[in-house]
């Protein structure tokens, strides 16, 4: 278990989790994730975060190739979620650190998760710094990115920002750096991670990016707690630009149709809605909730500004998978979206009303009335679906300035 030196005397000593398939409720299939831990050797040796508890042996093995465990002087806990702090009790026992640094809310979280009696906890806030020899560590609180306890650690001498869950991706790979992996793969995983975890906190992302810019700190490496490390000013700037783009949620000329179906009638209607969107030059992806995980849908939503839902009527409402998708999406609070609704029914026909109410409650603009059809769609029903798709496309293009 070899460490990776990412800067002089700064080492990655984390773990790669190739088998995990669930992360905060979204699917990691077909790959897992990484738990990144960093160790800095100076006059004081400092460990930043830990790994998920079942990977402690991997982390300890990598650490032992850098230093003796009892020579770890400080532990910095940027974030107390168990995938980053799960090994903390064992490390405190083995390393007997002089100090454990965390944010004010980090201390509360630490005490809630673990028996911290006798631990040398020291609370730090934005603007606080410590010296470890030839280096300083500056602390910046980043509350709700994505937990209230979150903070980042900046080492000016190395131009290094150790940034916990911000700027991460779920990638399980032997490569450690962004420039070692195909850029399209990295971008996809950033879109997925952002829109399934960070999206509700987009206003705070913009404030954080603005604060970093105003502070005038120079960064040529971003070291997140999940995924690949950004090295070099160009890649760091690319990452910042992508996060700004995600957070601003600017209008995009692309649509996604999300549906479930009982006897294929709603599925057939979805295809006609897609034809209408295509007729106006709007690219569209159709996603069936029988085959597409809700996290994959959110990833696609990250690229789309028109979001159209279809469901048959079921027990005077909508199908369970559609209801689950709407609940998941509501919690992530997407902004700047146009919506649409369609569906078939047998007897009572509440599906479109239920879908429209849910999307309206989320703040979606609904430029056209939904389309519902009793039993198997007729030519007239297909025509209405096509027209609805075309009208949504026109409304979207207007939002995009076309």
pLDDT tens digits for range 88-106: 999 999 999 999 999 999 9
Can 241 be counted among the known catalytic residues? Answer: no
Can 24 be counted among the known catalytic residues? Answer: yes
Is the CB of residue 174 less than 8 Å from the CB of residue 228? no
Flag whether pLDDT at 23 surpasses 90.
Answer: no
Can 280 be counted among the known catalytic residues? Answer: no
Can 17 be counted among the known catalytic residues? Answer: no
Per-residue pLDDT, averaged over 46-57, amounts to 94
E strand intervals along 201-305: 221-223, 230-231, 255-259, 284-288
Domains of the chain: 4-248 (3.60.15.10), 255-395 (3.40.50.360)
When pLDDT is cut at 50, 70 and 90, the band that residue 24 belongs to is low
Q: What is the DSSP letter of 331?
A: H
When pLDDT is cut at 50, 70 and 90, the band that residue 261 belongs to is very high
When pLDDT is cut at 50, 70 and 90, the band that residue 26 belongs to is low
Q: Looking at 38, 154, 193, 259, which residue is catalytic?
A: 193
Instruction: Provide the pLDDT for residue 147.
Output: 82
Can 79 be counted among the known catalytic residues? Answer: yes
Residue 160 and residue 175: Cα distance in Å, rounded?
Answer: 19
Q: Looking at 35, 79, 195, 260, which residue is catalytic?
A: 79
Q: Looking at 24, 113, 188, 293, which residue is catalytic?
A: 24
Is the CB of residue 12 less than 8 Å from the CB of residue 176? yes
SS3 of residue 161 by DSSP: strand
User: How much is the pTM?
Assistant: 0.92
Per-residue pLDDT, averaged over 348-375, amounts to 94
Token pair belonging to 46: 């400092």
Averaged pLDDT score across all residues of the chain = 94
């Amino acid at each position: 278990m070899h460490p990776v030196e990412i800067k002089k005397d700064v080492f990655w000593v984390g773990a790669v989790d190739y088998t995990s398939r669930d992360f905060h409720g979204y699917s990691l299939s077909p790959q897992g994730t990484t738990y990144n831990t960093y160790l800095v050797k100076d006059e004081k040796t400092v460990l930043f975060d830990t790994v998920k508890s079942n990977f402690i042996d991997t982390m300890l093995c990598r650490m032992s190739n850098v230093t003796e465990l009892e020579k770890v002087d400080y532990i910095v806990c940027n974030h107390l979620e168990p995938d980053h702090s799960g090994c903390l009790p064992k490390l405190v026992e083995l390393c007997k650190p002089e100090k454990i640094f965390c944010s004010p809310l980090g201390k509360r979280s630490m005490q809630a998760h673990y028996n911290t009696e006798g631990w040398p906890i020291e609370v730090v806030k934005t603007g606080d710094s410590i010296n470890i020899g030839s280096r300083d560590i500056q602390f910046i609180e980043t509350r709700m990115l994505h937990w209230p306890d979150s903070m980042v650690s900046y080492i000016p001498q190395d131009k290094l920002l150790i940034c916990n869950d911000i700027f991460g991706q779920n990638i399980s790979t032997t490569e450690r750096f962004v420039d070692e992996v195909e850029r399209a793969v990295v971008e996809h995983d950033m879109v997925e991670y952002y829109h399934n975890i960070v999206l509700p906190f987009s206003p705070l992302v913009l404030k954080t990016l603005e604060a970093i810019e105003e502070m005038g700190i120079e960064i040529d490496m971003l070291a997140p707690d999940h995924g690949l490390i950004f090295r070099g000013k160009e890649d760091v700037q690319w990452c910042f630009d992508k996060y700004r783009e995600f957070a601003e949620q600017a209008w995009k000329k692309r649509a996604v149709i999300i549906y479930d179906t009982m006897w294929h009638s709603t599925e057939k209607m979805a295809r006609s809605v897609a034809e209408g969107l295509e007729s106006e030059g709007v690219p569209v992806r159709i996603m069936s909730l029988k085959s597409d995980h809700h996290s994959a849908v959110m990833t696609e939503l990250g690229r789309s500004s028109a979001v159209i839902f279809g469901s048959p009527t079921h027990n005077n409402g909508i199908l369970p998978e559609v209801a689950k998708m709407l609940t998941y999406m509501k919690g992530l609070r997407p902004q700047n979206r146009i919506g649409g609704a369609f569906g078939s029914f047998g007897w009572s026909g509440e599906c479109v009303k239920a879908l429209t109410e849910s999307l309206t409650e989320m703040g979606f603009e609904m430029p056209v009335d939904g389309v519902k059809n009793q039993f198997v769609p007729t030519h007239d029903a297909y025509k209405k679906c096509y027209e609805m798709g075309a009208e949504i496309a026109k409304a979207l293009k207007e939002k995009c300035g076309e």
